[in-house]
């Protein structure tokens, strides 16, 4: 993988945007162009302490840098010095989807949720077409840009398929599909684990609750295995529930296909309704984004 000729001196480092297992993300501005972006910083010592972490970071760089889709957070470049690895990414001004949803005064309208569903389905369909399984679809890994642009992010646990790693348990329990919960003792799972996680995300942003949450991890895992979904405290339309339940099916073969989700008549009508409320998207110039010419 060829790194960029950039260095940390090319950026003014601003406030911290978020923090994960291996890295911290900062708001940054390029000194010469004033282009605003986000930079994920990973300490090399953390990677050198664990060979798996090193491989995971290399895989994240290799996979994410080839993902070019409207609904996937844009990758611009990466570079490193003696102590850290830096990944230059698109800045999503409204933060992650969980924080955005929690900030709303009223519950998210179903039309807005349909926009999220359509956007993430499109991103995942693109990933799956390229033989990539994300494996960690959740509200904190979905970012919101200005104009409510939805961006799938964090390819740290993503993997090419088919792969021996498709029997490894990754991600956050509350979002895991049944076949992933039991992956180490059962058959290998497929990209349909991402479809299940999308169903969890839709339930969560509509209700601010998780569909299979229990007080203990063991009970949560059992609820997922049995598809014992909590009854939403908020009243949802029959069509919205239909879509969520179609994604949250125990048998992966029966799980709603992403293309079928995007072409669902009710969903497309809701997406169109929400689109009417959105402002025109901002346009960037080459001067504003110095990475455009190399993409």
Annotated binding site for ATP: 21, 40, 44, 90-92, 154
d(CA 206, CA 230): 13
Q: Give the separation between CA 29 and CA 121, rounded to whole angstroms.
A: 31
Q: Which residue(s) pair with 214 in the sheet?
A: none
Is the dihedral angle over the CA atoms 273, 264, 121, 235 positive or is it negative?
Answer: positive
- Which residues does the annotation mark as catalytic? 136
State the Cα–Cα distance between residues 88 and 198, nearest whole angstrom: 26
Please give the C-alpha separations between residue 47 and each of 22, 58, 80, 123, in angstroms, as whole numbers: 8, 10, 13, 29
Query: Which residues make up each annotated binding site?
Result: 21, 40, 44, 90-92, 154
């Amino acid at each position: 993988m060829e790194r960029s000729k950039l260095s940390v001196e090319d950026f003014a480092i601003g406030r911290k945007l978020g923090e994960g297992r291996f890295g911290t993300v900062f708001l940054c501005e390029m000194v010469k162009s004033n282009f605003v972006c986000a930079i994920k910083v990973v300490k090399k010592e953390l990677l050198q302490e664990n060979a798996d972490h090193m491989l995971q970071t290399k895989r994240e760089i290799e996979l994410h840098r080839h993902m070019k889709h409207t609904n996937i957070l844009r990758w611009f470049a990466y570079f490193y010095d003696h102590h850290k690895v830096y990944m230059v990414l698109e800045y999503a001004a409204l933060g992650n989807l969980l924080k955005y949803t929690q900030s709303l005064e009223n519950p998210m309208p179903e039309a807005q949720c349909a926009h999220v569903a359509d956007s993430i389905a499109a991103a995942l369909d693109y990933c799956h077409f390229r033989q990539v399984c994300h494996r960690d679809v959740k509200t904190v890994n979905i970012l919101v840009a200005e104009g409510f642009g939805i961006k799938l992010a964090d390819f740290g646990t993503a993997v090419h398929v088919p792969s021996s790693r498709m029997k490894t348990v990754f991600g956050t329990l509350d979002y895991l599909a049944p076949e992933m919960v039991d992956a180490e003792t059962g058959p290998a799972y497929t990209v349909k684990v991402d479809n299940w996680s999308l169903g969890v995300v839709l339930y969560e942003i509509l209700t601010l609750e998780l569909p299979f949450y229990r007080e203990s991890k063991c009970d949560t895992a059992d609820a997922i295995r049995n598809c014992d979904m909590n009854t939403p405290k908020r009243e949802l339309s029959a069509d919205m529930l239909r879509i969520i339940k179609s994604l949250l099916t125990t048998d992966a073969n029966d799980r709603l296909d992403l293309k079928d989700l995007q072409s669902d008549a009710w969903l497309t009508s809701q997406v169109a309704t929400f689109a009417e409320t959105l402002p025109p998207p901002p346009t960037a110039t080459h001067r504003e984004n110095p990475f455009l010419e190399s993409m």
